[in-house]
């Protein structure tokens, strides 16, 4: 599970907030870090979106922002967001739909640092807390993870940790195969040169 703003995405415009749904880019290094979580991992976004309650964006705009993030980051399966300051509402956004999950046992516990969104995501995917990790950039992220019983890692540490050794087995095999192919090509070129000289 991963926080989004300041952890995985930032405004492309350099402004503090997204100017429109497409005003997003991945934070440098986050794409490489995400590559380390492939087989057996389900990656979901968890984000407070109090900007909806504050009147900075509409619900529809908020959903569009999440759906654009899902386009930008194909490894993300879905995004949970809480649009109010009391933690009463929770929506789950997939590439094509949005679902209202507000009426669960975690009503009023959705906004981080409350753990409701994390708990809902774990129950939906049948993952116990000890098998999960939450990555975030703010104290409320750390607190939400603690209350959900999930290991927490700071975004900065997480990105740094994954910058050097994130090749998957498949990628290593492909790289090695490509090197061999390049060698073969060079040999072929060498033979052609020899023939021309003759
Ligand atoms: Mg954040």
pLDDT in tens, 10-23: 999 999 999 999 99
CA 136 / ligand 1 centre spacing (Å): 6
Q: CATH number of 9-165: 3.90.420.10, 1.10.3720.10, 2.60.120.260, 3.40.50.1000?
A: 3.40.50.1000
Of 126, 147, 54, 53, residue with least CA distance to 91: 53
Lowest mean pLDDT among 24-28, 73-77, 181-185, 189-193: 189-193
Tell me: pLDDT of 142 over 80: yes
Query: Is the confidence at residue 188, as pLDDT, over 50?
Result: no
Local structure of residue 102 (DSSP, 8 states): -
**Distance in angstroms (rounded) separating the CA atoms of residues 138 and 81:** 16
Q: What is the mean pLDDT of the chain?
A: 89
62-79 as b/e: b if 16+ CB within 10 A: bbbbbbbbbebbeebebb
Residues 150 and 129 sit within 8 Å (Cβ to Cβ): yes
Q: What's the pLDDT at 170?
A: 65
| Predicted structure pTM score | 0.82
Alpha helices of the chain — where are they, by DSSP H? Answer: 30-34, 59-72, 116-124, 139-148, 155-161, 169-197
Confidence of residue 145 (pLDDT cuts 50, 70, 90): very high
Query: What is the CA(8)–ligand 1 centre distance, in A?
Result: 8
Distance 132 CA to ligand 1 centre (A): 18
Give me ligand 1 centre to Cα 184, in Å. Answer: 48
102: its two tokens: 């507000």
Going by pLDDT thresholds of 50, 70 and 90, the confidence category of residue 150 is very high
- How far is residue 92's CA from residue 99's CA, in Å, rounded to a whole number? 5
Residue 168 CB-half CA count within 13 A: 10
Sorted by sequence, the CB contacts under 8 Å of residue 194 that are 6+ apart come out as: none
> From the CA of 197, how far away is ligand 1's center (Å)?
64
Query: Tokens for 113?
Result: 């640092």
């Amino acid at each position: 599970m991963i926080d989004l703003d300041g952890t995985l995405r930032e405004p492309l415009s350099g402004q503090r907030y997204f100017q429109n749904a497409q005003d997003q880019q991945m934070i440098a290094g986050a794409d490489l870090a995400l590559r380390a979580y492939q087989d057996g991992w389900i990656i979901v976004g968890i984000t407070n979106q109090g900007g909806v309650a504050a009147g900075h964006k509409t619900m529809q705009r908020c959903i569009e922002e999440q759906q654009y993030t899902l386009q930008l980051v194909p490894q993300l399966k879905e995004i949970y967001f809480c649009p109010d300051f009391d933690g009463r509402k929770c929506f789950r956004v997939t590439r094509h739909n949005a679902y209202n999950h507000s009426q669960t046992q975690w009503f009023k516990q959705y906004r981080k640092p409350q753990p409701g969104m994390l708990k809902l995501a774990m129950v939906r995917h049948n993952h116990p807390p000890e098998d999960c990790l939450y990555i975030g950039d703010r104290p409320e992220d750390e607190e939400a993870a603690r209350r959900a019983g999930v290991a927490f890692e700071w975004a900065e540490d997480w990105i740094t940790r994954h910058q050097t050794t994130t090749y998957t087995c498949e990628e290593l095999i492909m790289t090695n195969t490509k090197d061999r192919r390049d060698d073969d090509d060079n040999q072929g070129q060498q033979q052609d040169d020899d023939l021309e000289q003759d």
